[in-house]
Amino acid sequence: MPTDATPDPYADPLKFGQRVQVLRERRGMTQAQLADLIGISEHTLRKLENGQRKAPDLERVMRIAEALRVRDLSDLTGRPDMHVDLFIGPGHPRLGAVKAAIDSFALSSSSEPPPVPHLEARLHAAWKARHQAPNHREVIGKLLPDLIRDAQSLVRHADSSLERRRAQSLLAQTYSLSQFFIAYQPDSSLLWRVAERGMVAAQDSSDPHAIGVAAWLMAQAHRDSGPRHFDAADAVNLEAVRFLEPLLPDASDDVLAIAGALEFELGYTAARRRETGTAWRHWDRANTMAARLPADYYHPVTSFSRAIMGAHAVTVAVELHQGGESVRQAARADELTIPSRPRRARHRIEEARGFQLDGQPDVAIATLEKAARTAPETIKYNGYARAIILEEVESTQAARRRRASELATDIGLLAA
C-alpha cells in the first residue's frame, strides 16, 4: 500500500480528529468550510484534527456529523457502541418487495397490461394516499410493486409511438413515487437506479412535466450525496429550467409549478453552499412563480404552491445556519395550510432545526413531537430529526432528556 494513501477512517487506531480530517477531505471540504458550518474557528478545528484538542462533547459531535453528512455515528467516533445511522433510516419492511419489482425485467408476458386510464387512476390514488397517510411509506410501499410491474408492462406492449410516450410518462411517474419511498433507506444504489430510469422514461415520454419532475428528483439525489455533487445537482436543475422556460408563458399549472420547484431547488443548493444572496434570489424567483398559481393549487409531487413558500423560506434560513432568521420565518409560515401530511411534518422538522440553531432545544423537541404526531414515518427516516433527538437524549436537563428519550422510543430510535 502506498505510504501516501488516504487512511481508512473506519480502521483503528485513528483518533477522533484524524477521522474528522479524513471524512472532511473525502467530502471535498476545506477546514474553513467545515469550521464555519459547525460554528468554531478554523484554528480550533485545525487543533482538533491534529490532536491538540480532545474530542468535543456530543452536541458538537452531532454538528460535525451533520456537516459531514456522516451516515453512521460510529464512522466519526470510532466507537462500535455508537452505531447509529443518522441520514439513512431503517429499512422498511416493504423495501425488499419494491426492490424486487424494480430489478425484475420481464422480456415477455402472456398477461395483458392494464388500460391506461386504470393505471392513471391508481397512480393518482397512490399520490393522494402518500400525502394523506401518516404511515405513508407503508401505504405506498404496498402499492408500488404492482404499479411498477404494470407500468413496465404498459411500455412493453405499446403498439404506437403515441402509446409508448404515454406509457413512458406513467412509468416515469411510478419511478418518481418510488423515489419517495426509497429515499433515506439503506440502499442508495437502488435510489440511483430509480432516479436514472425515471429520467430516461421521462425523456422518452417527451412530457415536459414528467421531465421536470425527474430532473427535480435527480437534482435532489445529487445534492444529498454531499458537497462534491452540488455542481452536478445544479447542472441537472439548470438544464431543466432552461428546457421549461420557453413553455412558461402559456404553461399549465403543473408545468409552472415544477418550474417553480426547480427554481427553489437551485436556492436550496446555494444555501447548502452558504451562498446567502444566491439562495434568497432563487427563493424570490420561485415565489414569483408561486404567485401565478391559483391560491388553492398544490403540486401533487413536489408540494409546490403559494402555501409552501413560507416553509421553503424556513429551509433556506436553516441551511444558511441563520438560527434567528429561521425562527422568524417559522413564525411567518402557516404550516396548517400545507395539505400533505409528510410535507407538513418535514416543515416541522425544519422548524426544529431552526430552534436548535437558535439555542432553543426544548422548543425543538416540542416541534419534533408535533412532526411525529403528523407523520411518524417522516420523522423516523429523517436524519436531521434523528440527530437532534440523539443530541438531546444526552442533555444535562432531566426534563428535556426524558422528552427526547420518549420521542426516540416512540419512533424506534431507542429500544422500548
Domain ranges, ordered by start, for the chain: 16-82, 92-206, 326-416
Residue 307 makes CB contacts below 8 A (sequence gap 6+) with 298, 334, 337, 338, 339
The candidate with the shortest Cα–Cα distance to 44, out of 69, 20, 78, 79, is: 20
Which residues 6+ apart lie within 8 Å of 38 measured at CB? 45, 60, 63, 64, 67
Residue 336: alpha-carbon gap to chain centroid: 21
- pLDDT value, residue 266: 97
Residue 12 has a pLDDT of 44
Q: What is the pLDDT of residues 325-344, one digit of tens each?
A: 888 888 887 666 888 999 99
CA separation for the pair 129, 218 (Å, rounded): 23
3-state secondary structure the chain: CCCCCCCCCCCCCCCHHHHHHHHHHHCCCCHHHHHHHHCCCHHHHHHHHCCCCCCCCHHHHHHHHHHHCCCEHHHHHCCHHHCCECCCCCCCCCHHHHHHHHHCCCCCCCCCCCCHHHHHHHHHHHHHHHHHCCCHHHHHHHHHHHHHHHHHHHHHCCCCHHHHHHHHHHHHHHHHHHHHHHCCCCCHHHHHHHHHHHHHHHHHHCCHHHHHHHHHHHHHHHHCCCHHHHHHHHHHHHHHHHHHHHHHHHCCHHHHHHHHHHHHHHHHHHHHCCCHHHHHHHHHHHHHHHHCCCCCCCCCCCCCCCCHHHHHHHHHHHHCCCHHHHHHHHHHCCHHHCCCHHHHHHHHHHHHHHHHHCCCHHHHHHHHHHHHHHCHHHHHCCHHHHHHHHHHHCCCCHHHHHHHHHHHHHCCCCCC
Q: Identify the pLDDT of residue 109.
A: 64
Residue 42, CB half-sphere, CA atoms under 13 Å: how many? 5
pLDDT of residue 328: 87
CB of 395 within 8 A of CB of 381?
Answer: no
Read off the pLDDT of residues 42-99 as tens digits, 9 standing for 90 and up: 899 999 888 888 878 777 887 788 777 776 677 777 665 555 555 566 678 999 999 9
Q: Which amino acid is at 318?
A: V
- Which residue did the predictor score with more confidence, 76 or 260? 260
On whether the CB atoms of residues 167 and 117 are closer than 8 A, the answer is no
Average pLDDT, the chain: 87
- Convert the pLDDT of each residue in 292-305 to its tens digit: 999 999 999 999 99
CATH of 16-82, one of 1.10.260.40, 1.20.58.2030, 3.30.70.20, 3.40.50.300: 1.10.260.40
CA distance 64 to 120: 45
Which of these, 272, 274, 273, 303, lies nearest to 286 by C-alpha position? 303
Contact 304, 290 (CB under 8 A): yes
Please tell me the predicted confidence (pLDDT) of residue 332.
Answer: 80
Contact 87, 71 (CB under 8 A): yes
Distance (Å, whole) CA 370 – CA 157: 47
Judge contact between 161 and 78, C-beta under 8 A: no
Phi-psi region of 358 (alpha: psi -120 to 50; beta: other; left: phi over 0): alpha
b/e code 265-302 from CB counts within 10 Å (16+ = b): bbbbbbbbbeeeeebbebbebbbebbeebeeebbbbbb
Distance CA 315, CA 330 (A): 9
Neighbours of 373 (CB within 10 A): 13
**How confident is the model over 2-12, as pLDDT tens digits?**
444 444 444 44
pLDDT at 7: 42
End-to-end CA distance of the chain, in Å? 46
State the angle between helix axes of 42-49 and 31-38 in degrees (0 to 180), rounded to the nearest 10.
Answer: 110
The per-residue pLDDT for 64 is 83
- pLDDT score, position 234: 96
Residue 27's pLDDT band, with cuts at 50, 70 and 90, is: confident
- Distance (Å, whole) CA 120 – CA 39: 49
> How many CA atoms does the CB half-sphere of 280 hold within 13 Å?
10
CA angle 96/102/106 to nearest 5° reads 120
